[in-house]
Structure 1
Amino acid sequence: MGRNVTPLGATGRGVLVTGASRGIGRAVAAAFARQGDRVAVHCSAPGPDARETLAALEGEGHVLLAADLADPARVETLAAEAHDALGGVDVLVNNAAVMVAHPLPETSYEDWQAAWHRTAAVNLFGAANLTHLVTRRMIDEGRGGRVVNMGSRGAFRGEPAHPAYGATKAALHALGQSLAVSLAPYGIAVASVAPGFVATERVAGRLEGPEGADIRSQSPFGRVADPEEIASAVLYLASPGALWSSGTVLDVNGASYLRT
Protein backbone atom coordinates (compact mmCIF):
# COMPACT_ATOMS: atom_id res chain seq x y z
CA MET A 1 0.00 0.00 0.00
CA GLY A 2 3.04 2.26 0.32
CA ARG A 3 4.65 4.31 3.09
CA ASN A 4 4.49 1.37 5.56
CA VAL A 5 0.74 1.71 6.04
CA THR A 6 -1.02 -0.90 8.15
CA PRO A 7 -3.96 -2.37 6.13
CA LEU A 8 -7.38 -1.40 7.44
CA GLY A 9 -9.35 -4.29 8.95
CA ALA A 10 -13.02 -4.92 8.40
CA THR A 11 -14.15 -4.80 12.05
CA GLY A 12 -12.94 -3.77 15.48
CA ARG A 13 -12.12 -0.25 14.30
CA GLY A 14 -12.42 3.07 16.04
CA VAL A 15 -15.15 5.13 14.33
CA LEU A 16 -16.02 8.78 14.98
CA VAL A 17 -19.46 9.83 13.73
CA THR A 18 -20.35 13.51 14.02
CA GLY A 19 -23.94 14.59 14.53
CA ALA A 20 -24.91 11.12 15.74
CA SER A 21 -27.65 12.03 18.23
CA ARG A 22 -30.45 10.98 15.88
CA GLY A 23 -31.43 10.61 12.24
CA ILE A 24 -28.78 9.53 9.75
CA GLY A 25 -25.96 9.89 12.27
CA ARG A 26 -27.68 7.56 14.73
CA ALA A 27 -28.25 4.96 11.98
CA VAL A 28 -24.60 5.20 10.91
CA ALA A 29 -23.33 4.77 14.47
CA ALA A 30 -25.60 1.75 14.97
CA ALA A 31 -24.45 0.14 11.72
CA PHE A 32 -20.78 0.35 12.65
CA ALA A 33 -21.46 -0.94 16.18
CA ARG A 34 -23.39 -3.94 14.81
CA GLN A 35 -20.37 -5.09 12.86
CA GLY A 36 -18.11 -4.90 15.90
CA ASP A 37 -16.57 -1.44 15.68
CA ARG A 38 -16.10 0.95 18.61
CA VAL A 39 -18.02 4.16 18.03
CA ALA A 40 -17.58 7.71 19.30
CA VAL A 41 -21.02 9.32 19.17
CA HIS A 42 -20.57 13.06 18.67
CA CYS A 43 -23.22 15.62 19.57
CA SER A 44 -23.15 19.40 19.80
CA ALA A 45 -24.27 19.24 23.45
CA PRO A 46 -25.14 16.24 25.65
CA GLY A 47 -28.85 15.51 25.70
CA PRO A 48 -31.35 12.67 25.87
CA ASP A 49 -31.17 11.87 22.14
CA ALA A 50 -27.41 11.42 22.21
CA ARG A 51 -27.52 9.34 25.37
CA GLU A 52 -30.23 7.17 23.82
CA THR A 53 -28.08 6.59 20.75
CA LEU A 54 -25.11 5.57 22.89
CA ALA A 55 -27.16 3.25 25.10
CA ALA A 56 -28.64 1.43 22.11
CA LEU A 57 -25.32 0.60 20.44
CA GLU A 58 -24.40 -3.07 20.32
CA GLY A 59 -21.05 -4.15 21.70
CA GLU A 60 -18.61 -2.35 23.95
CA GLY A 61 -16.07 0.45 23.88
CA HIS A 62 -18.42 3.21 22.71
CA VAL A 63 -18.26 6.77 24.00
CA LEU A 64 -20.29 9.99 23.87
CA LEU A 65 -18.39 13.18 23.01
CA ALA A 66 -19.74 16.73 22.79
CA ALA A 67 -18.30 19.64 20.83
CA ASP A 68 -19.43 22.67 18.85
CA LEU A 69 -17.88 22.03 15.43
CA ALA A 70 -17.98 25.76 14.71
CA ASP A 71 -15.30 26.24 17.39
CA PRO A 72 -11.85 25.18 16.07
CA ALA A 73 -10.50 24.77 19.61
CA ARG A 74 -13.32 22.41 20.56
CA VAL A 75 -12.78 20.47 17.33
CA GLU A 76 -9.16 19.97 18.34
CA THR A 77 -10.26 18.67 21.74
CA LEU A 78 -12.84 16.38 20.11
CA ALA A 79 -10.22 14.79 17.86
CA ALA A 80 -7.94 14.15 20.83
CA GLU A 81 -10.75 12.76 22.99
CA ALA A 82 -11.93 10.41 20.25
CA HIS A 83 -8.40 9.18 19.63
CA ASP A 84 -7.81 8.45 23.31
CA ALA A 85 -11.23 6.89 23.95
CA LEU A 86 -11.15 4.60 20.90
CA GLY A 87 -7.46 3.81 20.88
CA GLY A 88 -7.20 5.63 17.57
CA VAL A 89 -9.70 6.69 14.92
CA ASP A 90 -9.75 4.48 11.84
CA VAL A 91 -12.93 5.89 10.29
CA LEU A 92 -14.27 9.45 10.39
CA VAL A 93 -17.81 10.13 9.25
CA ASN A 94 -18.47 13.85 8.78
CA ASN A 95 -22.24 13.78 9.17
CA ALA A 96 -23.06 16.80 11.35
CA ALA A 97 -24.75 19.69 9.56
CA VAL A 98 -27.03 22.64 10.13
CA MET A 99 -29.76 23.76 7.75
CA VAL A 100 -31.01 27.31 8.24
CA ALA A 101 -33.78 28.54 5.97
CA HIS A 102 -32.81 31.81 4.21
CA PRO A 103 -34.48 32.17 0.79
CA LEU A 104 -32.91 35.27 -0.73
CA PRO A 105 -36.11 37.15 -1.70
CA GLU A 106 -37.40 36.94 1.87
CA THR A 107 -34.20 37.28 3.91
CA SER A 108 -32.61 40.47 5.22
CA TYR A 109 -28.92 41.06 4.57
CA GLU A 110 -28.16 40.65 8.27
CA ASP A 111 -29.99 37.33 8.49
CA TRP A 112 -28.42 36.22 5.20
CA GLN A 113 -24.93 36.74 6.59
CA ALA A 114 -25.78 34.96 9.83
CA ALA A 115 -27.16 31.93 7.98
CA TRP A 116 -24.11 31.66 5.75
CA HIS A 117 -21.64 32.06 8.60
CA ARG A 118 -23.29 29.46 10.82
CA THR A 119 -23.83 26.96 8.00
CA ALA A 120 -20.29 27.22 6.67
CA ALA A 121 -18.78 27.10 10.16
CA VAL A 122 -20.33 23.70 10.89
CA ASN A 123 -20.93 22.03 7.54
CA LEU A 124 -17.65 22.96 5.87
CA PHE A 125 -15.04 24.39 8.22
CA GLY A 126 -15.95 22.06 11.08
CA ALA A 127 -15.67 19.02 8.81
CA ALA A 128 -12.46 20.28 7.21
CA ASN A 129 -10.82 21.00 10.57
CA LEU A 130 -11.79 17.65 12.06
CA THR A 131 -10.62 15.82 8.96
CA HIS A 132 -7.23 17.52 9.18
CA LEU A 133 -6.78 16.57 12.82
CA VAL A 134 -7.95 12.97 12.45
CA THR A 135 -6.09 12.16 9.24
CA ARG A 136 -2.84 13.72 10.44
CA ARG A 137 -2.91 11.24 13.31
CA MET A 138 -3.58 8.44 10.83
CA ILE A 139 -0.54 9.56 8.85
CA ASP A 140 1.69 9.90 11.91
CA GLU A 141 0.69 6.45 13.17
CA GLY A 142 0.87 4.79 9.74
CA ARG A 143 -2.54 3.25 10.26
CA GLY A 144 -4.38 4.17 7.07
CA GLY A 145 -8.07 4.89 7.37
CA ARG A 146 -11.30 6.10 5.85
CA VAL A 147 -13.14 9.42 5.73
CA VAL A 148 -16.75 9.49 4.58
CA ASN A 149 -18.44 12.86 4.11
CA MET A 150 -22.20 13.25 4.24
CA GLY A 151 -22.98 15.41 1.24
CA SER A 152 -26.36 15.97 -0.39
CA ARG A 153 -28.39 15.75 -3.55
CA GLY A 154 -28.91 19.47 -2.95
CA ALA A 155 -25.32 20.12 -3.98
CA PHE A 156 -26.37 19.28 -7.55
CA ARG A 157 -30.05 20.17 -7.87
CA GLY A 158 -29.93 23.30 -5.70
CA GLU A 159 -31.53 24.31 -2.39
CA PRO A 160 -33.60 27.46 -3.08
CA ALA A 161 -34.67 27.94 0.53
CA HIS A 162 -31.30 26.85 1.95
CA PRO A 163 -28.62 28.06 -0.50
CA ALA A 164 -25.81 27.96 2.05
CA TYR A 165 -26.61 24.32 2.79
CA GLY A 166 -26.43 23.38 -0.89
CA ALA A 167 -23.22 25.34 -1.38
CA THR A 168 -21.46 23.86 1.65
CA LYS A 169 -22.45 20.33 0.64
CA ALA A 170 -21.01 20.94 -2.84
CA ALA A 171 -17.84 22.21 -1.19
CA LEU A 172 -17.72 19.12 1.01
CA HIS A 173 -17.88 16.90 -2.08
CA ALA A 174 -15.01 18.87 -3.63
CA LEU A 175 -12.99 18.72 -0.40
CA GLY A 176 -13.38 14.96 -0.34
CA GLN A 177 -12.14 14.60 -3.90
CA SER A 178 -9.11 16.82 -3.23
CA LEU A 179 -8.21 14.86 -0.11
CA ALA A 180 -8.75 11.53 -1.86
CA VAL A 181 -5.81 12.43 -4.08
CA SER A 182 -3.52 13.88 -1.41
CA LEU A 183 -4.15 11.18 1.21
CA ALA A 184 -4.05 8.09 -1.01
CA PRO A 185 -0.28 7.60 -0.59
CA TYR A 186 -0.92 7.19 3.14
CA GLY A 187 -3.56 4.49 2.72
CA ILE A 188 -6.42 6.86 3.52
CA ALA A 189 -9.48 6.74 1.28
CA VAL A 190 -11.95 9.63 1.21
CA ALA A 191 -15.43 9.51 -0.32
CA SER A 192 -18.82 11.18 -0.02
CA VAL A 193 -22.45 10.11 0.10
CA ALA A 194 -25.07 12.36 -1.50
CA PRO A 195 -28.50 11.41 -0.10
CA GLY A 196 -31.82 12.67 -1.32
CA PHE A 197 -34.74 13.16 1.04
CA VAL A 198 -34.45 10.97 4.16
CA ALA A 199 -37.14 10.23 6.74
CA THR A 200 -35.60 11.71 9.89
CA GLU A 201 -37.05 13.43 12.92
CA ARG A 202 -36.05 16.82 11.56
CA VAL A 203 -38.33 16.54 8.52
CA ALA A 204 -41.15 14.43 9.95
CA GLY A 205 -43.52 17.40 9.92
CA ARG A 206 -42.94 18.01 6.21
CA LEU A 207 -43.48 14.36 5.30
CA GLU A 208 -46.68 14.19 7.32
CA GLY A 209 -47.99 17.54 6.04
CA PRO A 210 -49.48 18.71 2.74
CA GLU A 211 -46.16 18.52 0.84
CA GLY A 212 -45.45 14.94 1.90
CA ALA A 213 -46.96 13.37 -1.21
CA ASP A 214 -44.97 15.67 -3.50
CA ILE A 215 -41.74 14.88 -1.66
CA ARG A 216 -42.32 11.14 -1.94
CA SER A 217 -43.18 11.43 -5.63
CA GLN A 218 -39.71 12.83 -6.38
CA SER A 219 -38.49 9.22 -6.45
CA PRO A 220 -39.99 6.69 -8.87
CA PHE A 221 -40.10 4.34 -5.90
CA GLY A 222 -42.75 6.62 -4.43
CA ARG A 223 -41.10 7.07 -1.07
CA VAL A 224 -38.12 8.65 0.69
CA ALA A 225 -35.09 6.88 2.14
CA ASP A 226 -34.82 5.35 5.56
CA PRO A 227 -31.72 6.45 7.53
CA GLU A 228 -30.51 2.85 7.49
CA GLU A 229 -30.29 2.94 3.70
CA ILE A 230 -27.89 5.86 3.89
CA ALA A 231 -25.94 4.12 6.64
CA SER A 232 -25.42 1.08 4.42
CA ALA A 233 -23.74 3.28 1.81
CA VAL A 234 -21.47 4.82 4.45
CA LEU A 235 -20.60 1.35 5.74
CA TYR A 236 -19.58 0.27 2.24
CA LEU A 237 -17.41 3.33 1.56
CA ALA A 238 -15.65 2.79 4.90
CA SER A 239 -14.97 -0.88 4.18
CA PRO A 240 -11.62 -2.36 3.07
CA GLY A 241 -13.21 -3.38 -0.24
CA ALA A 242 -14.06 0.22 -1.12
CA LEU A 243 -10.48 1.49 -1.33
CA TRP A 244 -10.80 1.90 -5.10
CA SER A 245 -13.92 4.02 -4.60
CA SER A 246 -11.85 6.78 -3.03
CA GLY A 247 -12.85 10.13 -4.53
CA THR A 248 -16.39 8.92 -5.22
CA VAL A 249 -19.53 10.96 -4.62
CA LEU A 250 -22.13 8.21 -4.26
CA ASP A 251 -25.71 9.23 -5.07
CA VAL A 252 -28.19 7.55 -2.70
CA ASN A 253 -31.43 9.26 -3.70
CA GLY A 254 -33.77 6.59 -5.11
CA ALA A 255 -33.34 7.92 -8.67
CA SER A 256 -34.96 11.20 -7.59
CA TYR A 257 -32.13 13.13 -9.23
CA LEU A 258 -29.87 11.77 -11.96
CA ARG A 259 -26.60 13.47 -12.76
CA THR A 260 -25.17 13.41 -16.29
Structure 2
Amino acid sequence: MARPVTVVTGGSRGIGAATCLRLAADGHDVVIGYVRDGDAAEAVAEGVRKDGARCAVVRVDTSVEAEVEGLFDAAERELGAVTGLVNNAAVTGPFGRLADAGTADLRRVVEVNLLGTLLCSRRAARLMAARGSGAIVNVSSAAATLGSPGEYVHYAATKAAVDALTVGLAKELGPDGVRVNAVAPGVIDTEIHATMGDPGRAERVGHTTPLGRAGRPEEIAAAIAWLLSPEASYTTGTVLRVSGGR
Protein backbone atom coordinates (compact mmCIF):
# COMPACT_ATOMS: atom_id res chain seq x y z
CA MET A 1 0.00 0.00 0.00
CA ALA A 2 1.09 3.57 -0.68
CA ARG A 3 2.26 5.48 2.34
CA PRO A 4 0.10 8.41 3.46
CA VAL A 5 1.49 11.84 2.64
CA THR A 6 0.72 14.44 5.29
CA VAL A 7 1.38 18.17 5.24
CA VAL A 8 2.12 19.72 8.65
CA THR A 9 2.22 23.51 8.87
CA GLY A 10 4.30 25.04 11.63
CA GLY A 11 6.25 21.80 11.65
CA SER A 12 9.62 23.09 12.79
CA ARG A 13 8.94 23.36 16.51
CA GLY A 14 6.66 22.47 19.41
CA ILE A 15 3.51 20.53 18.65
CA GLY A 16 4.22 20.64 14.92
CA ALA A 17 7.67 19.09 15.26
CA ALA A 18 6.38 16.38 17.61
CA THR A 19 3.59 15.64 15.14
CA CYS A 20 6.00 15.25 12.22
CA LEU A 21 8.09 12.77 14.20
CA ARG A 22 5.05 10.83 15.40
CA LEU A 23 3.57 10.59 11.91
CA ALA A 24 6.87 9.36 10.49
CA ALA A 25 6.96 6.65 13.15
CA ASP A 26 3.39 5.73 12.18
CA GLY A 27 4.30 5.28 8.52
CA HIS A 28 3.55 8.67 6.98
CA ASP A 29 5.71 10.59 4.56
CA VAL A 30 5.76 14.16 5.81
CA VAL A 31 5.87 17.67 4.38
CA ILE A 32 7.19 20.14 6.93
CA GLY A 33 5.96 23.68 6.46
CA TYR A 34 7.88 26.37 8.33
CA VAL A 35 8.04 30.15 8.16
CA ARG A 36 11.34 31.27 9.76
CA ASP A 37 13.72 28.73 11.24
CA GLY A 38 15.03 26.61 8.38
CA ASP A 39 17.66 24.96 10.55
CA ALA A 40 15.02 23.77 13.01
CA ALA A 41 12.89 22.45 10.16
CA GLU A 42 15.84 20.53 8.73
CA ALA A 43 16.56 19.04 12.16
CA VAL A 44 12.99 17.75 12.32
CA ALA A 45 13.34 16.43 8.77
CA GLU A 46 16.42 14.50 9.81
CA GLY A 47 14.42 12.83 12.57
CA VAL A 48 11.63 12.02 10.14
CA ARG A 49 14.04 10.38 7.71
CA LYS A 50 15.64 8.33 10.48
CA ASP A 51 12.28 6.59 10.82
CA GLY A 52 12.43 5.61 7.15
CA ALA A 53 9.98 8.23 5.96
CA ARG A 54 10.36 10.52 3.00
CA CYS A 55 10.29 14.21 3.83
CA ALA A 56 10.04 17.56 2.09
CA VAL A 57 10.75 20.89 3.78
CA VAL A 58 8.95 23.96 2.42
CA ARG A 59 9.10 27.54 3.62
CA VAL A 60 5.57 28.94 3.72
CA ASP A 61 3.69 31.83 5.27
CA THR A 62 0.24 30.26 5.46
CA SER A 63 -1.47 33.65 5.37
CA VAL A 64 -0.22 34.16 1.79
CA GLU A 65 -2.30 32.38 -0.84
CA ALA A 66 0.50 31.94 -3.37
CA GLU A 67 2.78 30.39 -0.75
CA VAL A 68 0.07 27.96 0.35
CA GLU A 69 -0.43 26.90 -3.25
CA GLY A 70 3.32 26.45 -3.55
CA LEU A 71 3.38 24.29 -0.41
CA PHE A 72 0.86 21.84 -1.80
CA ASP A 73 2.38 21.90 -5.28
CA ALA A 74 5.76 20.99 -3.77
CA ALA A 75 4.18 18.27 -1.63
CA GLU A 76 2.54 16.57 -4.59
CA ARG A 77 5.56 17.02 -6.84
CA GLU A 78 8.07 15.62 -4.34
CA LEU A 79 6.09 13.03 -2.39
CA GLY A 80 2.85 12.32 -4.27
CA ALA A 81 -0.84 12.76 -3.57
CA VAL A 82 -1.52 14.56 -0.29
CA THR A 83 -3.74 12.41 1.93
CA GLY A 84 -3.57 14.41 5.17
CA LEU A 85 -3.22 17.95 6.45
CA VAL A 86 -2.39 19.18 9.94
CA ASN A 87 -3.18 22.89 10.28
CA ASN A 88 -0.81 23.68 13.12
CA ALA A 89 0.78 27.03 12.19
CA ALA A 90 -0.36 29.74 14.60
CA VAL A 91 0.77 32.85 16.44
CA THR A 92 -0.44 34.40 19.70
CA GLY A 93 0.80 37.94 19.50
CA PRO A 94 2.07 39.69 22.64
CA PHE A 95 0.75 38.59 26.01
CA GLY A 96 -1.72 41.04 27.61
CA ARG A 97 -5.13 42.69 27.54
CA LEU A 98 -6.95 43.31 24.28
CA ALA A 99 -7.11 47.04 25.05
CA ASP A 100 -3.32 47.18 24.87
CA ALA A 101 -2.92 45.14 21.68
CA GLY A 102 -1.64 46.76 18.50
CA THR A 103 -3.67 46.55 15.32
CA ALA A 104 -0.79 44.99 13.39
CA ASP A 105 -0.54 42.21 16.00
CA LEU A 106 -4.29 41.58 15.86
CA ARG A 107 -4.21 41.43 12.09
CA ARG A 108 -1.31 38.97 12.07
CA VAL A 109 -3.04 36.64 14.54
CA VAL A 110 -6.21 36.58 12.44
CA GLU A 111 -4.33 36.16 9.16
CA VAL A 112 -2.20 33.23 10.33
CA ASN A 113 -4.57 31.43 12.67
CA LEU A 114 -7.77 31.80 10.67
CA LEU A 115 -7.04 32.87 7.10
CA GLY A 116 -4.03 30.54 6.91
CA THR A 117 -6.11 27.61 8.13
CA LEU A 118 -8.82 28.46 5.62
CA LEU A 119 -6.37 28.70 2.72
CA CYS A 120 -4.68 25.40 3.56
CA SER A 121 -8.01 23.68 4.14
CA ARG A 122 -9.38 24.97 0.86
CA ARG A 123 -6.48 23.57 -1.15
CA ALA A 124 -6.62 20.26 0.73
CA ALA A 125 -10.38 20.05 0.19
CA ARG A 126 -9.94 20.50 -3.54
CA LEU A 127 -7.34 17.75 -3.74
CA MET A 128 -8.96 15.29 -1.36
CA ALA A 129 -12.57 15.64 -2.49
CA ALA A 130 -11.53 14.96 -6.06
CA ARG A 131 -9.91 11.71 -4.92
CA GLY A 132 -12.71 10.71 -2.56
CA SER A 133 -10.61 10.40 0.58
CA GLY A 134 -8.42 12.30 3.02
CA ALA A 135 -8.23 13.73 6.51
CA ILE A 136 -7.68 17.20 7.93
CA VAL A 137 -6.79 17.90 11.55
CA ASN A 138 -6.88 21.47 12.81
CA VAL A 139 -4.92 22.43 15.91
CA SER A 140 -7.33 24.54 17.93
CA SER A 141 -6.96 25.43 21.61
CA ALA A 142 -8.79 25.10 24.90
CA ALA A 143 -8.63 28.90 24.81
CA ALA A 144 -11.48 28.78 22.28
CA THR A 145 -13.91 28.05 25.11
CA LEU A 146 -12.00 29.56 28.05
CA GLY A 147 -11.54 32.94 26.36
CA SER A 148 -8.10 33.64 27.91
CA PRO A 149 -8.97 37.01 29.49
CA GLY A 150 -5.97 39.16 30.27
CA GLU A 151 -3.75 36.93 28.15
CA TYR A 152 -4.79 36.72 24.49
CA VAL A 153 -8.51 36.95 23.84
CA HIS A 154 -7.73 37.69 20.18
CA TYR A 155 -5.96 34.32 19.86
CA ALA A 156 -8.85 32.59 21.64
CA ALA A 157 -11.30 34.16 19.20
CA THR A 158 -9.42 32.82 16.18
CA LYS A 159 -9.35 29.35 17.70
CA ALA A 160 -13.10 29.47 18.29
CA ALA A 161 -13.41 30.22 14.58
CA VAL A 162 -11.22 27.19 13.84
CA ASP A 163 -13.64 25.05 15.85
CA ALA A 164 -16.56 26.36 13.76
CA LEU A 165 -14.59 25.70 10.59
CA THR A 166 -13.93 22.13 11.74
CA VAL A 167 -17.62 21.37 12.29
CA GLY A 168 -18.83 23.03 9.11
CA LEU A 169 -16.15 21.66 6.82
CA ALA A 170 -16.64 18.15 8.21
CA LYS A 171 -20.30 18.29 7.19
CA GLU A 172 -19.41 19.76 3.81
CA LEU A 173 -16.72 17.21 2.95
CA GLY A 174 -18.17 14.11 4.59
CA PRO A 175 -20.07 13.06 1.44
CA ASP A 176 -16.75 13.33 -0.45
CA GLY A 177 -15.04 10.86 1.88
CA VAL A 178 -12.95 13.48 3.65
CA ARG A 179 -12.83 13.70 7.45
CA VAL A 180 -12.18 16.95 9.32
CA ASN A 181 -11.41 17.09 13.04
CA ALA A 182 -9.56 19.27 15.52
CA VAL A 183 -7.45 18.85 18.62
CA ALA A 184 -7.80 21.51 21.31
CA PRO A 185 -4.67 21.48 23.50
CA GLY A 186 -4.53 23.09 26.90
CA VAL A 187 -1.32 24.61 28.19
CA ILE A 188 1.56 22.73 26.57
CA ASP A 189 5.22 23.06 27.48
CA THR A 190 6.65 24.62 24.30
CA GLU A 191 8.62 27.75 23.48
CA ILE A 192 5.45 29.62 22.47
CA HIS A 193 5.12 30.96 26.02
CA ALA A 194 8.57 32.53 25.95
CA THR A 195 7.86 33.95 22.50
CA MET A 196 4.79 35.78 23.79
CA GLY A 197 6.71 37.13 26.78
CA ASP A 198 5.89 34.74 29.65
CA PRO A 199 8.43 31.88 29.73
CA GLY A 200 7.16 30.51 33.04
CA ARG A 201 3.52 30.30 31.98
CA ALA A 202 3.40 26.59 31.12
CA GLU A 203 4.57 25.50 34.55
CA ARG A 204 2.48 28.08 36.38
CA VAL A 205 -0.79 27.41 34.57
CA GLY A 206 -0.12 23.68 34.36
CA HIS A 207 -0.29 23.45 38.15
CA THR A 208 -3.88 24.74 38.04
CA THR A 209 -5.18 21.87 35.88
CA PRO A 210 -6.84 18.81 37.43
CA LEU A 211 -3.82 16.75 36.34
CA GLY A 212 -1.50 19.26 37.95
CA ARG A 213 0.94 19.79 35.11
CA ALA A 214 1.41 21.19 31.63
CA GLY A 215 1.06 18.87 28.68
CA ARG A 216 3.85 17.67 26.42
CA PRO A 217 3.93 18.21 22.65
CA GLU A 218 4.10 14.43 22.15
CA GLU A 219 0.74 14.04 23.91
CA ILE A 220 -0.93 16.34 21.39
CA ALA A 221 0.88 14.66 18.51
CA ALA A 222 -0.57 11.32 19.62
CA ALA A 223 -4.10 12.71 19.42
CA ILE A 224 -3.45 14.20 15.98
CA ALA A 225 -1.99 10.93 14.73
CA TRP A 226 -5.04 9.02 15.92
CA LEU A 227 -7.44 11.38 14.16
CA LEU A 228 -5.49 10.92 10.92
CA SER A 229 -5.43 7.15 11.28
CA PRO A 230 -7.87 4.49 10.01
CA GLU A 231 -8.77 3.86 13.66
CA ALA A 232 -10.66 7.18 13.57
CA SER A 233 -12.49 6.30 10.36
CA TYR A 234 -15.92 7.11 11.85
CA THR A 235 -14.79 10.32 13.54
CA THR A 236 -15.44 13.66 11.87
CA GLY A 237 -16.56 17.09 13.00
CA THR A 238 -15.03 16.45 16.42
CA VAL A 239 -12.99 18.87 18.53
CA LEU A 240 -10.93 16.61 20.78
CA ARG A 241 -9.91 18.41 23.95
CA VAL A 242 -6.50 17.41 25.30
CA SER A 243 -6.10 19.86 28.14
CA GLY A 244 -5.43 18.06 31.40
CA GLY A 245 -9.06 18.55 32.42
CA ARG A 246 -9.04 22.34 32.19
Answering whether residue 93 of structure 2 is matched by residue 100 of structure 1, we say yes
2:186 maps to 1:196: yes
Residues 105 and 116 (structure 1), Cα distance of their counterparts in 2 relative to 1, 3 Å cut: closer
Q: Quick one: distance in 2 between partners of 1:255 and 1:170?
A: 18
Mapping for residues 100-249 of structure 1, pairs under 5 Å: 100-101=93-94, 103-107=97-101, 111=102, 113-142=103-132, 144-160=133-149, 161-203=151-193, 209=200, 214-249=204-239
Q: Do the aligned partners of 1:15 and 1:40 also contact (CA within 8 Å) in 2?
A: yes
Tell me how far apart the structure 2 counterparts of residues 159 and 125 of structure 1 sit (CA, whole Å). Answer: 21
**In structure 2, what is the Cα distance between the partners aligned to 1:84 and 1:214?**
45
Instruction: Name the CA distance, whole Å, in 2 between partners of 1:86 and 1:163.
Output: 38
Contact 1:207 1:215 (8 Å CA) reproduced: no
| 1:91-139 deviation per Cα after TM superposition (whole angstroms, max 9, x unaligned) | 10000001102522334xxx1x212211111111111111111121112
What's the CA shift for 1:213? Answer: 5.2
* Aligned: 1:36 with 2:30: no
Tell me how far apart the structure 2 counterparts of residues 135 and 82 of structure 1 sit (CA, whole Å).
15
SS of match in other structure, 2:234: helix
Aligned counterpart, 1:81: 74
Equivalents in 1 of 2:33, 2:78: separation in Å?
12
**Quick one: distance in 1 between partners of 2:223 and 2:98?**
33
TM-score, normalised to structure 2's length? 0.92
1:168–1:62 distance in 2 versus 1, CA, 3 Å: same
Moved over 3 A (4+): 204-209, 211-214
Q: Deviations over 1:154-176 (max 9, x none)?
A: 00001222122101100001001
Secondary structure at the counterpart of residue 245 of structure 1: coil
What value does the CA root-mean-square deviation take over the aligned residues?
A: 1.9
CA distance in 2, matches of 1:200, 1:46: 15
What's the TM-score, normalizing by structure 1?
0.87
Question: Could you tell me how far apart the structure 1 residues matched to 2:234 and 2:41 are?
Answer: 33
1:158-203 Cα deviation digits (max 9, x unpaired): 1222122101100001001001001001110000000000011233
* Separation of aligned partners in 2, 1:121 and 1:148: 19
Identity over the aligned pairs, expressed in percent?
37
For these two proteins, the number of residue pairs brought into alignment is: 241
C-alpha distance 213-139 of structure 1, shift in aligned 2 (>3 A):
closer
Q: 1:225 to 1:213 in 2, by over 3 A?
A: closer
Unaligned runs of 5+ in 1: 1-8
Which string of whole-angstrom CA distances, capped at 9 and with x for unpartnered residues, describes residues 8-65 of structure 1? Answer: x7x8200100000010000000010001110001101352111111111121321101
Cα gap change, 1:178 to 1:49, in 2 (>3 Å): same
| Residues 18-37 of structure 1: pairs in structure 2 closer than 5 A | 18-37=9-28
SS at match of 1:159: coil
Q: 1:13 to 1:123 in 2, by over 3 A?
A: same
CA gap 1:99/1:14 in 2 versus in 1, 3 angstroms: same
Q: Does the 8 Å CA contact 2:6/2:29 hold for their aligned counterparts?
A: yes
The alpha-carbon deviation at position 208 of structure 1 amounts to: 6.4
